[in-house]
Amino acid sequence: MVTTVMRENELKIKITLPQATEVKKLEKKSLVSYIYVGEPRPMYAAKFGSEPRIQLNDAISDLVDIRDFIASEREARDEAEVPFMTASLKVDENTKMGIVSDIKQSLRDAQALKINYSTRKGTKK
């Protein structure tokens, strides 16, 4: 069925989410910050190369930017809501874990401990 999807931001990278069965719904969308990881789309490949990159909001970013990103996301929210904020990792299934581990490490350093591995809901085998 055709429906409207409100896009939060324009993706400059390709993402095919992995499938999982034990998924939970993500609650309170306003408290979720998205981190995208994947190979840059062909039109951006000349600028950013073909290795998987991180996208925060609208821009392709580096690992060091995550700290500032989390800080700015926190600033935008009410102080009482900060402990409930979730970082949703939307990562392409063919990405290597190295970059994901680095992101997890910087999220730990930034005290953003609640994370969510975004997946498609798959069928039970």
What residues make contact with another protein under the rule CB under 8 A?
Answer: 1-6, 18-26, 29, 32, 37, 51, 86, 88, 91-101, 104, 107-109, 111-121, 125
Give the shortest CB-51-to-another protein separation in angstroms: 8
Minimum gap (Å) between residue 9 Cβ and another protein? 13
Q: For another protein, which is the closer residue by CB, 7 or 43?
A: 7
Q: Which residue number, 10 or 43, has a Cβ lying nearer to another protein? A: 10
Q: Tell me the three state secondary structure of residue 39.
A: strand
- Residue 87: which of 68, 64, 112 has the closest Cα? 112
Kindly state the smallest distance separating residue 105's Cβ from another protein, in Å: 9
Q: Which is nearer to another protein, 43 or 110 (CB)?
A: 110
Residues 50-55: contacts with CB within 8 Å, 24+ apart?
52/13, 52/92, 52/95, 52/96, 52/99, 53/13, 54/99, 54/103, 55/11, 55/12, 55/13
Looking at the Cβ atoms of 20 and 45, the one nearer to another protein is 20
- Whose tokens are 């095919």? That residue is 16
Residues 6+ apart with CB under 8 A from 76: none
Q: How far is the CB of 2 from another protein (least distance, A)?
A: 7
Looking at this protein, which amino acid is placed at residue 44?
A: Y
